[in-house]
Structure 1
Amino acid sequence: MKKSGIKKIILKLSEGLLATVTDLLLLQFFLIGSSLGKGKTSRGAYLVIQEAAKNWEEINYRTLKQAFFYLKRKGLIRSLLEPSITALGRKRLKKLMPQYQSNRPWDGVIYLITYDIPETKKIFRDKLRLILNRIGAGYLQGSVWITPYNPQQILKEFSHLFGFEGEIIVSCIGKDGYIGNESLNELLNRVYRLEEINNQYGKFLDKYRKLSLPSVDKWKAAAMYLSILKQDPQLPDDLLPDNWRGNKAYQVYLYLTKKGS
């Protein structure tokens, strides 16, 4: 199979979370390896591969075995006899996977970011957009972004590094403020697609909250939850809708994927 075809399959299987077979298999080790690897035998490790092959019928067994040996060579799993990941493997997964933030302190201010970097300096505009995405800012329109988290220090460093002092402006809006004809809550809901994400959390809960642990496919449950979390801006609780399902979904995810189940 061509690499482009494999990548499409992987993205489909992992709900857009991961982009390589090795990362898919590493997550599989993390999710189900601990419950299979109670005895240090090679059978446990190969059971992980067989479970992956069952879930990912579109990827052939040989490709999965190659990924398995790659993980071992890179020190991401403990050994060929023990189906569990190493500290290095956990570190890699932490970088790949979205992380749920339980602590979301907020200073009660919404920050509006505007910039005036000419299109002739597109490379810097793109760098700035990348930074804004990484800090969780939401795109409003044109060269305007919004975020509930204070971006001033990061943007000050960016401006100083690339010589854009005075061309990036940060304004503050109170919790009860308006932008145009929209209230702040309406604006955040539109920019961050909160209603859509909340509906996805609802579907996850409808599917998994009443299932008993032995009947749950950890891989599918984790892939579904993490794919939603990846879209979630994880706004402060004060800015979330009253019926927000994200916190409950996280508790169900923890329960379903806990070790030893």
Structure 2
Amino acid sequence: MVLTIRKIRKFRDGIAERVVDMILIGIYFNLEAPSLIQKKRYLIESSVEEDLEKLNYHRIKRACSFLKRKGLIDFVKEKEILPIITKAGELKLRKIIPFYDEKRVWDGQIYLVSYDFPKDKNKERDYFRKFLRDIGCGMLQQSNWLTPYNPTNLIKKFIEKHELSGDLILISSIGKNGMIGTKTLKELMEKVFLLSHLNLRYREFVYKAKSGKEKRGELIYLFLSILNEDPQIPFSFLPDDWLGEEAYVLFKKLRLM
């Protein structure tokens, strides 16, 4: 699958719905260098140029003032430099963009989530399916989902929030050497999370990042769009030719440029 600029921008719009979020992301990745103290034209990467060109100077400054009041950014000196992201700002960013998990702490179990909602609970069933996707589960069959990370507490909160009976949802655990049917867990991870397709997208990113022909901002948003779909399962379940780690190393270099 070849990513188009439109698809990348669609993802970008999704994670930066508000002006303040977009500017916070831009500051974090150094995608623009606006003069926030003096009134002059700001210089930015072309990947966000069209978006920020729609914003006038005063709107950007108001957004930065808002971020400063909320403690999400700070200014080191009263001069023409980008502000820095505070710890609170980093926590905010983790809610609006995906971050690569270098550790992937795992308890050695695979969790199978099964559910059986009655017809009068169709709305809750649809909510639950979306919820499972949001917490990183992959669909094995229509009412059976897999995840390598223990979802018990999250599902318990979902049940309480929607006032459901605990009997509607069953969570089972399988050891790391177990099987479901004739497939090993590694084979199931490949099938459920479409790892081959995801690896092709990482391959595309690696190629573009090494080519030196792509703009830094577009590469950053391309990587984030891929990472947004990556379930980041434990490393032991990844294919031998997995390119996600190489892509992340290249992304970190872009981040520091």
Correspondence 1:51 to 2:44: yes
Quick one: which of 230, 237, 244 aligns to 1:232? 230
Deviations 1:210-260 (A, max 9, x none): 64xxx87331121011111111000001111111111121111111111xx
How far apart are the structure 1 equivalents of 2:52 and 2:26? 16
Per-residue deviation, residues 168-208 of structure 1 (Å, max 9, x unmatched): 11122333444345432232112111111111111111111
Alpha-carbon spacing, 1:40–1:150, altered in 2? closer, same or farther (3 Å): closer
What residue identity is the alignment partner of 1:208?
A: A
Q: Who is 1:72 aligned against?
A: 64
Query: Partner residue of 1:3?
Result: none
In structure 2, relative to structure 1, the CA distance for the partners of 1:177 and 1:15 (3 Å cut) is farther
CA deviation after TM superposition for structure 1 residue 33, in Å:
6.2
Asked if 1 retains the 8 angstrom alpha-carbon contact of 2:20 and 2:67, the reply is no
Using the TM superposition, give the Cα deviation of residue 145 of structure 1 relative to its aligned residue in structure 2, in angstroms.
0.8
Compared with structure 1, are the counterparts of its residues 131 and 55 closer, same or farther at alpha carbon in structure 2 (3 Å cutoff)?
closer
2:116 match: 116
SS in 1 for 2:55: helix
CA shift at 1:74, angstroms? 1.5
Counterpart AA for 1:101: D
Q: Is the 8 A contact 1:108 1:174 kept in 2?
A: yes
AA at the equivalent of 1:200? R
Given that 1:109 and 1:174 are in contact with CA atoms closer than 8 Å, whether structure 2 keeps it comes out as yes
Q: Are 1:26 and 2:27 an aligned pair?
A: no
Structure 1 pair 60/236, CA: closer, same or farther in 2 (3 Å)? closer
Contact 1:10 1:19 in 2 (8 A): no
1:28 positional shift? 2.0
Amino acid at match of 1:117: F
**Following the alignment from structure 2 to structure 1, what is the Cα–Cα distance between the partners of residues 228 and 160?**
31
Q: Please identify runs of 4+ aligned residues in structure 1 that moved more than 4 A.
A: 56-60, 76-82
CA RMSD of aligned residues (A): 3.3
Q: Determine which of 174, 197, 218 is the counterpart of 1:220.
A: 218
Residue type of the partner of 1:171? S
Shift of 1:11: 3.7
Alpha-carbon spacing, 1:73–1:220, altered in 2? closer, same or farther (3 Å): same
1:40 CA displacement: 8.1
Preserved contact between residue 19 and residue 63 of structure 2 (Cα < 8 Å): no
1:64, 1:12 → 2: CA distance? 22
Using the TM superposition, give the Cα deviation of residue 96 of structure 1 relative to its aligned residue in structure 2, in angstroms: 0.5
Unaligned runs of 5+ in 1: 1-7
Any conservation in 1 of the 2:31–2:48 contact (CA below 8 Å)? no
Distance (Å, rounded) in 2 between the aligned partners of 1:9 and 1:186? 29
Instruction: After TM superposition, give the deviation of residue 86 of structure 1 in Å.
Output: 4.3
User: Which residue number corresponds to residue 38 of structure 2?
Assistant: 42
Corresponding position of 2:246? 248
Q: How far 1:114 sits from its partner (Å)?
A: 0.5
2:143 corresponds to which residue?
143
CA shift in 2, pair 1:58/1:143, >3 Å:
same
Counterpart for residue 187 of structure 1: 188
Aligned partners of 2:111 and 2:121: how far apart in 1? 24
Q: TM-score, normalised by structure 1?
A: 0.76
Q: 2:255 aligns with which of 233, 254, 257?
A: 257
The answer to whether the 8 A contact 1:114-1:145 is kept is yes
